[in-house]
Structure 1
Amino acid sequence: MDANSCLDVISFAEAYGMSELLDDANDFVLRNFWEVSNTAKFLDLPAEKLVDFLKCDGLCAPSELAVFRAVISWIETSPEERLSQASLLMSGVRFPLMTFREFREVRAINLRMESFENKEDELYVSALQEFSFGMQDVQAKCRVRRPKDAIVLVGGDRLNPDEGGRILSREVWFANSFRCGTGLVKAIEWRKLGEIPDQPKFRHGVAAMGGRLYAVGGCYFYTKNDIMKSAYSYDPEQNSWKKLADMNEFRSNFSLVANDGRLFAIGGDKEINTNVDTVEVYDPETDSWSFARPLEQALSGQASTVSNGSIFISGGYNYRYECLVSLFLYHPSGGTTYLSDMSHDRAQHSMETLRGSLYVAGGVCNWRTFYTDQFVCEVYCPRTDSWSVFENLPVPHVGAPSAVLEDKLYMLGGYCQEDYSESGLVHRFDPSLNRWENMGRLPGAVTDMRACVMRLKTHKPHSHIFFQKS
């Protein structure tokens, strides 16, 4: 499905009563409204269908001015017939989200319509009325986007500002909605999903597989004896946690990925400053862990992701705790295939698969005998086995989880290596714009938490039904 075909898919799904396909197609239009509005098929939409899209909280666009421009394009296709529906269409544009400067452009755009018997006044008056009345309506001052999938955060730790110590977390949060308000201020509304039944944990592993959330290993305090090997799964349909078989080894600061119906726990620290080369595989059918082929060297703080059924591993600390530039494919039975090195060394970073490429961001790098923040971001193209840089991070994100949702990369919290300060900020990268944007703050722990993206069955998109902990 793409911007040119999605409206045809909607017509097909409506004609044949395919409700699930219809939901997916409508959701695609809402997520990609600006791209869809620039297609020829958009101009043929019935007014009632267009208004349905405009009034939906889930509609995404670069700005509300862009939404207005889409409406104008639709009207100008047949102004003699469509100007009479201006009031109906203007009621779907959220003019209070515009700045006064943007609203002046509304008037300028309408001046193009002067040749149609002063009906531009009707259009402008309708817009002005919505702009003025809406300024008093707090609920109208933001658009709310509720994706079908949700970013889920598990555990982590943060500084206690009152006592100077650290607070460990058992909390599980999810991104309930994304808000765009006046002046294009964006923010995520977080809701608490519950708590893991295990001890508080950080530097653990989290993955989604088969509709379940898995939380494995990690640390529950800061000494060498506080590393864990426990594993739990969460079923969102039943709102219940299940204790699983323990890993064979204690493991923290490792990577956990799901591939081919199994979980892979890769490398990590078995105690403070002692990393390992072992890899364990969890089989949910037998509730058991077994060792797979080890890595070629001990690693911790590396990043791993799965692309096209293959496990990629980048950077991390070697046994001397030096940051690496390596990227390789890990084969559970066949060993290691090394690929082109990154341009910059890093550990405690993130790597995600996005649009068929591997995006690497955040972490620390070597600096003399110390570490410093790594701001440089890189993207790997598997087709050419080559790296290129993309826009630097605006702030450090060390020990930060990452996630990909709706073709955008999220960096969530972390800390600054230079002064160990914690921002708790969320930044989102849009490859289409090559730009990071601030998405607000995290709700709880801000560093060494873990994240994944999964479908929460009780999290309904475009509705006001939310998961509630029983």
Structure 2
Amino acid sequence: MDSSLLTDLTLTTHNGKSFNVHSLILAAISSFIQERLRNGNEERIHNDDDQRWSVSLSPEVDLVGLKAVLEFAYTGAVLSLNRESMTSIVAAAQALDIPRLLEFCNKEERMNEGRSPKKEERKYSALEQMKITLQSIEKLWLDIVGCNVILDVGGAVFYVHRVILAASSDFFRGMFTSGMRESHQTRISLPFISASELDVLIRCSYSGTLPLSWDCVFEMTCTALQLQFQPSLSLCLNFMRQEMEASSCLDVASFAEAYEMSELLMESNDFVLRNFWEVSVTPKFQDLPAEKLLDIIHCDDLCVPSELTVFRAVISWVEADPEERLGQAGRLMTGVRFPLMTFREFREVRAIYLRIECFGNKEAELYGSALKEFGFSLPETQDQCRVRHPKDALVVVGGDQLNPDGRQRIPNKELWFANSLRSGPGLVKAMEWRRLGEMPDKPKFRHGLAALLGRLYVIGGCYYYTKDDMMKSAYSYDPVQDSWKRLADMLEFRSNFSVVVQEGCLYAFGGDKEINTNVDSVEVYNPDTDSWSFTQPLDQSLSGHAATVLDGRIFISGGFNCKYMCLVSMFLYHPERGTTYLADMTHDRAQHCMEPLRGHLYAAGGVCNLQTFYTDQQACEVYDPVVDSWTAFASLPVPHVGAASAVLEEKIYVLGGYCQDDYSESGLVHRFEPITQRWETMGKLPGAVTDIRACLLRLPPHFRL
């Protein structure tokens, strides 16, 4: 409208002021305009002449009222509504018969007079108003009202609105606004595209939704690219990113490379590297060109349980077509890092070479080369390790630990991040830790930690071990500026509590407000207003529980009740509706971890009740929200009480903690690999190990150099 592009209706006030607008947009809110549009529908769509028309408004419609009507039509808001403008806006809404705007004005008038509206007369937001307007536009299209162009695709006919096509597609925008012959035609032939795919794209332009599956997404993306339907293209690309899996990632990579989509290509290639084991057993893997396979296995960022996985993948690729591929086996084997294998793993290499008779004399040469590399190139340094640098950094904050002589505990204020992951010989894994800095003010442990919009939030906790050492302070860290900011304090002192991010806000659940006293309160932090407010409480006091978000829903498991008994409970929390209980866990636990992964929730570690004392809970279980049930998975190899946890590249990390039975600390990091269903040891933490917290944060490049 601001550019007067494809406007077809002129509205003129009594004093001669006029506005060029889109009749379709006005018809979506105004019964008066919609009726006029319906009456002239047949004439307009079959007339090749100028399709502009005009309406002279009655004297009671002034400039203030008309501008408010247009603001409402195009944005859903009426920012100009106040006591002075109310009369003009109501007059315009009545003249043009705009029920929603009249209803809005009536509510505002009642509120100004001190009469609160009824609950069912709630105030709609501008976004909700726009949603209703767009639904009205879609209904007009389905009724073929106001359609001013016909698209003919091989005999299939589509009645559409020029303005909607132009807003959705740069191709049609250029066609209708650049003076081309088609800009004056009411029937346009498009012989070069698929009618079924155009139908889907047109429907998406009106509804905002696009039905996609792997069977059609590549064809839809091609058509969206060809016709420059940017919103539809974005939906297609988002589908590929979000639904990417082992069976489709290689197709996505090939597609992205063919169409020079560098970002999508980078993401799909990284997916292959992260999930190489799963990808290597798919049929698509056998179709990889040798050069592509060599690039993959030569990459340091390749994630594999051991180097034997790489060897097996190469062998399976060669065996898929031995006559054609045997000649390339030697070159491909240069990507297998034999020195990283154990003696037991290398025995399998020898056995496989002896088994492959189709190699002829080649197997002796290949085995000899591998044996030489294995036996004489064992690295004394880490040069031969595979070193992966995840895009997101795993950050650990605060905590406490025993001093070297074990006589006292030392609270911590340091931040560390895992810069890289290293795979060494056999099952040897390690993490490269780097110091990120220190928290301002006092050290913290048993605190809350979350990342939101690129910032780190550190909240509450303890700074020492006595009754008065609980905290309610909150800070945010901006890694771009490398600076801290003091935020508004929480409304309650809290330690041993949980924090989650939900719809752009932080939620703090329960926790201890002093020694042996926990609370049921929940408070929410709004970053826009730097303020905390109480919301619906839990139905019982909790501390040492675990909370996380899955598919937009907040789940809370276990913890200590008011008598400090470990719980088996699992429930959903809603800020308005409160608590909804789900299936209990098989094992009671508190001070444990719970993380979302692949549509499930994994609970691990913590303590449990054993008669009158606590003991370590090493049993782990996974929750399926679809069937509301728990099943066991691999137990932790060592106790992790008061540990931190996070999900990095679809693997669960449990970091630090202590052993309840003897209060020993190891500082070990364990990683759960969902493919193998096993825990891997990833080395040790660099600093404090108990009551730490962890989350993922995207750091500026200079931190990672």
Query: Which interval holds the TM-score relative to the shorter structure?
Result: over 0.9
Tell me if 1:307 matches 2:550: yes
Q: Does 1:441 align with 2:684?
A: yes
**Percent identity of equivalent pairs:** 72
1:21 paired to 2:264: yes
Amino acid at match of 2:515: I
Quote how far apart the aligned CAs of 1:201 are: 0.4
Q: Larger % of strand: which?
A: 1
The question of whether the paired residues in 2 share the 8 Å contact of 1:207 and 1:257 is answered with: yes
**Partner in structure 1 of residue 214 of structure 2:** none
Q: Confirm or deny: 8 A CA contact 2:488 2:530 kept in the other structure.
A: yes
AA aligned opposite 1:310: R
Alignment of structure 1 residues 23-102 onto 2, 5 Å: 23-102=266-345
Distance 1:450 1:440 in 2: 17
| Contact map agreement 1:157 1:445 (CA 8 A) in 2 | yes
Quick check: 1:269 aligned with 2:506? no
What is the SS of the residue equivalent to 1:127?
helix
Could you tell me how far apart the structure 1 residues matched to 2:350 and 2:445 are?
54
1:361 aligns with 2:598: no
Task: Report SS of the residue matched to 1:179.
Answer: strand
TM-score, L = length of structure 1: 0.93
TM-score, normalised relative to structure 2: 0.63
Residues 100, 387 of structure 1: alpha-carbon distance in 2 compared, 3 angstrom cutoff: closer
Q: Which residue of 2 aligns with 1:413?
A: 656
Tell me if structure 2 keeps the 8 A contact 1:179–1:187.
yes
Report the CA distance between 1:163 and its aligned residue: 6.0
> Are 1:86 and 1:122, in contact at CA under 8 Å, matched by a contact in 2?
no
Say which of 631, 641, 644 aligns to 1:398.
641
1:138 aligns with 2:381: yes
Match 2:496 to one of 253, 277, 297: 253
| 2:428 corresponding residue in structure 1 | 185
Partner of 1:461: none
* 1:188-203 equivalence runs, <5 A: 188-203=431-446
CA shift digits 1:191-210 (9 cap, x unpaired): 21111123110000001121
Shift of 1:369: 2.5
User: Does the 8 Å CA contact 1:113/1:119 hold for their aligned counterparts?
Assistant: no
Q: CA deviation at 1:115?
A: 4.4
**Structure 1 gap segments, 5+ residues each:** 459-464
Q: Are the structure 2 counterparts of residues 9 and 296 from structure 1 closer, same or farther at C-alpha, using a change threshold of 3 Å? A: same
Q: Secondary structure of 2:595's partner?
A: strand
- One of 414, 432, 436 as aligned partner of 2:675: 432
Structure-1 residue corresponding to 2:704:
467
- Once the two structures are TM-superposed, the CA of residue 448 in structure 1 deviates from its matched residue by 0.5
SS of equivalent to 1:225: helix
Question: Taking structure 1 as reference, are residues 17 and 241 closer, same or farther at Cα in structure 2, changes over 3 Å only?
Answer: farther
- The match for 2:589 is 346
CA displacement 1:358-398 (0-9 Å, x = unmatched): 21121112222222222222222211222222222222111
Match of 2:201 in 1: none
C-alpha separation between the residues in 1 aligned to 2:513 and 2:319? 66
What residue number does 2:541 align with?
298
Offset of 1:140 from its aligned partner? 4.3
Which residue of structure 1 aligns with residue 233 of structure 2? Answer: none
- Secondary structure at the counterpart of residue 251 of structure 2: helix
* Matching residue of 1:462: none
Alpha-carbon distance in structure 2 between the residues aligned to 1:348 and 1:57: 36
**Comparing 368-377 and 260-269, the one that deviates more:** 368-377
Distance change (3 Å), C-alpha of 1:415 and 1:86: same
Q: Are the counterparts in 1 of residues 419 and 704 from structure 2 also a CA contact under 8 Å? A: no
Which of structure 1's runs of 4+ aligned residues deviate more than 6 A?
A: none
Is the 8 Å Cα contact of residues 673 and 679 (structure 2) preserved in structure 1? yes
Letter in 2 for 1:26: N
Kindly state the Cα deviation for residue 148 of structure 1 after the two structures are TM-superposed: 1.8
Partners of 1:369 and 1:361 in 2: how far apart? 22
Q: Which has the larger radius of gyration?
A: 2
Structure ranking higher in helix proportion: 2
Contact preservation (8 Å) 2:507, 2:523: yes
Structure 1 position 114, deviation (Å):
4.6
SS at match of 1:182: coil
CA distance in 2: counterparts of 1:67 and 1:467, whole angstroms:
27
Matches of residues 119-130 of structure 1 in structure 2 within 5 Å?
Answer: 119-130=362-373
Aligned to 2:696: 453
1:26-60 deviations in whole A, cap 9, x for unaligned? 11111111221222222222222211111111112
Aligned residues: 462
Per-residue deviation at 1:456?
Answer: 2.4
Shift of 1:117: 5.4
SS at match of 1:337: strand
Structure 1 residue 466 displacement after superposition: 4.6
- Distance (whole Å) between structure 2 residues aligned to residue 317 and residue 302 of structure 1: 7
Greater RCO, CA 8 A, separation 6+ = 1
What letter is aligned with 1:200? P
1:282 match: 525
Q: Do 1:91 and 1:130's aligned partners in 2 also have CA atoms closer than 8 Å?
A: no
Instruction: Find the residue that maps to 1:214 and give its secondary structure.
Output: strand
**Preserved contact between residue 86 and residue 126 of structure 1 (Cα < 8 Å):** no
Distance in 1 between residues matched to 2:429 and 2:382, nearest whole Å: 15
SS in 2 for 1:249: coil
Q: Distance in 1 between matches of 2:672 and 2:260?
A: 37
Provide the alpha-carbon RMSD of the alignment.
Answer: 1.9
Q: 2:500, 2:549 within 8 Å by CA — same for their partners in 1?
A: yes
The structural deviation recorded for 1:62 is 2.8
C-alpha separation between the residues in 1 aligned to 2:573 and 2:661?
A: 33
Shift of 1:121: 3.6
8 Å Cα contact 2:382/2:424 also seen in 1: no
1:321 aligns with 2:558: no
Distance 1:364 1:118 in 2: 59
CA–CA separation in structure 1 for the residues paired with 2:417 and 2:606: 23
Cα displacement (A) at 1:274: 1.6
